Structure 1
Amino acid sequence: MARTRIDILLVERGLAPTRQKAQAMLLAGAVLVDDRPVDKPGTLVSSEAAVRVRGNPIPYVSRGGLKLEHALDRFGIDPTGLRVLDAGISTGGFADCLLQRGAAHIYGVDVGKAQVAWEIRQNPAVTLFEGTNVREFDVARLGDPVDLVVADLSFISLTLVLPVLHAALRPDGIALPMVKPQFEVGREHIGRKGVVRDETLRLAAVDKVVRASLECGFAHLGTTPSPVPGPEGNIEYFLHLRRAATSASPAVGGERGEPTCPRRTSS
């Protein structure tokens, strides 16, 4: 009997528009195969299996939309009419959430290519800078400073990109970067499957990024844990930051535009 990857089968049967959305549905625990939950996209199942999806758990192209939805609501931020920099756009979950809430334009930066979901990619309100390292992004390419910055980055400490996020914002602009402790605490503190289980270490990672943000000219207005964990179960945190109205950008100082706030290295 033929067997097919469950993420592919979901698309073939019209239960998900794309494999990316199918994978997000699986990771959210919304897929049942023969009435048993399946949460791994690579699981092989019979092509004749009974497959169903519980409810509509993810109204966005990825689970990232659910994460940002929580942060926007928790901090009372309405993106209607705002120009937004999405640092680490990936599939486009954050962008999808912002567009559904009325954002005027999204500028998506990502080191990867061809990852953004089609419905986000073809939206005229989205401009993509693919194959671009956020740390090296020239904010002049945005034209004018943006009103809001969101960030979901992997394999790099947020402390290294804060100068760019700061430089991209208008005075009094808001930043919502997501802290991923596994990329802040150092390898010696990372457990099985890259999960940071010690709450003390997770909170220390958040504090590290908050302190770096203050040094770069942000005001820290709040922190909230994401209700949706990372793929392996890591707990992640959103920071609510505001660029001071009178602060000069630390990301445009120096002869070559190098950041002038304290240099940091990944732990």
Structure 2
Amino acid sequence: MKEKTPKERLDTLLVKKGFFESREKAKSAIIAGLVKVDGKLADKPDIKFSPDVSIEIQQSLPYVSKGGFKLKKALDEFKINVTGFIAIDIGASTGGFTDCLLQEGVKKVYSIDVGKGVLHEKLRKDSRVVVMEGINARYLKEGDIPDKVDIITIDVSFISLLKIFPVIKSFLKKEGIVISLIKPQFEASPKDVSKGGIVKNIDVHLKVIENIKNNLKDLGFYLKNMTYFFSKEGKGNIEYPTLFVLQEKDEISIDKIKEIVREAFSNWKLLSKK
């Protein structure tokens, strides 16, 4: 009986097959959503596959990960020019937000992530990037970052934004702004999250956003604007890039929030049916 060929980690396979010269580069490409195995997107470097699987590397993105598109959409829709800004990027991961900020003209980014070895090599080599790995942002202390910054971006998973915002105000200039991703799947009650981690109930989305809005208002952050983002295939969750400021007069109305969420759901459902 012919022995089965042992399976190997995907990042190792990519190096062995000559797609990348190192496992770190392979890992970055996988996390960035550029690798398909047998026609399906593979987003975890440690999943094991047989060496004879079909592997496809998709065309390179303008950013090191798809996260860059989310921030770019927010900057464009909110009409924010970040040229010359100093920034903090919380939950940097591969560096999609960091990359977008740099391409938009930011002069320095403190790139923070709880993980290690994930930030793309291109960004590690960029003199404008201060790499802060292995740091849980909720435990940041005054003095950890020497600059007062113009903008803080936040893209975190498996933790509520309500655990992050209390510590960031001391790093922000008075006229500074925060762009964060509201991810309902990590803010909602577990009973409201369906199998696969999808939050399909529009009322849950509205409840999550209103809860964040009200709680952050108590901390002195005011939700000024928001938009929405989901994959072009309509799969996965709707996420909400949101703009927070320190001036109450700029606060968005609940009616406007409802309008944006309804539009998001309408477009998401259209794509999901295709």
Task: Indicate the TM-score class for this superposition, using the shorter chain for normalisation.
Answer: 0.7 to 0.9
- How far apart are 1:106 and its partner, in Å? 0.6
Q: What is the aligned partner in structure 2 of residue 22 from structure 1?
A: 29
**Alignment match of 1:194 (pick from 194, 197, 201):** 197
Measured in 2, the distance between the counterparts of 1:182 and 1:14 equals: 34
Q: 1:51 to 1:156 in 2, by over 3 A?
A: closer
2:93 aligned to which of 64, 67, 90: 90
Equivalences, count: 237
Equivalence for 1:38: 40
Distance 1:59 1:180 in 2: 24
Amino acid at match of 2:158: F
Q: What TM-score results when the alignment is normalised by the length of structure 2? A: 0.75
Q: Which residue of 1 aligns with 2:68?
A: 65
Offset, 1:8:
4.7
**1:219, distance to aligned residue in structure 2 (A):** 2.5
Specify whether residues 15 and 75 from structure 1 end up closer, same or farther in structure 2 by C-alpha distance, changes over 3 A only.
farther
Aligned to 2:182: 179
Report the equivalent of 1:237.
Answer: 240
Instruction: Summarize deviations over 1:22-56 as a string: whole Å, max 9, x none.
Output: 2145x46x74x6xx622125473655x76544544
Poorly superposed stretches of 4+, deviation over 6 Å: none
Instruction: State how far apart, in whole Å, the 2-side matches of 1:155 and 1:52 are.
Output: 29
Q: Which of 158, 166, 170 lines up with 2:169 in the alignment?
A: 166
SS in 2 for 1:112: coil
Higher relative contact order (CA 8 A, sep 6+): 1
Gaps of 5+ in 1: 246-267
Deviations 1:86-137 (A, max 9, x none): 1111221111111122211111222222222222223221112222221110
Match of 1:79 in 2: 82
Equivalent AA in structure 1 for residue 174 of structure 2: P
What TM-score comes out, normalization by structure 1 length? 0.77
* CA-CA distance at 1:228 after TM superposition: 3.7
> C-alpha distance in 2, partners of 1:64/1:223?
16
Aligned-residue Cα RMSD (Å) equals: 2.8
Q: Which has the higher helix share?
A: 2
Residue 223 (structure 1) shift: 1.0
Task: Check the 8 A contact 1:81/1:103 in 2, yes or no.
Answer: yes
AA aligned to 2:40 is V
Deviation at 1:10? 4.6
Deviation at 1:11, TM superposition (A): 5.1
- Segments of structure 2 that go 5 or more residues without pairing to the other structure are 249-274
Identity between Structure 1 and Structure 2 (%): 32
What is the SS of the residue equivalent to 2:64? coil
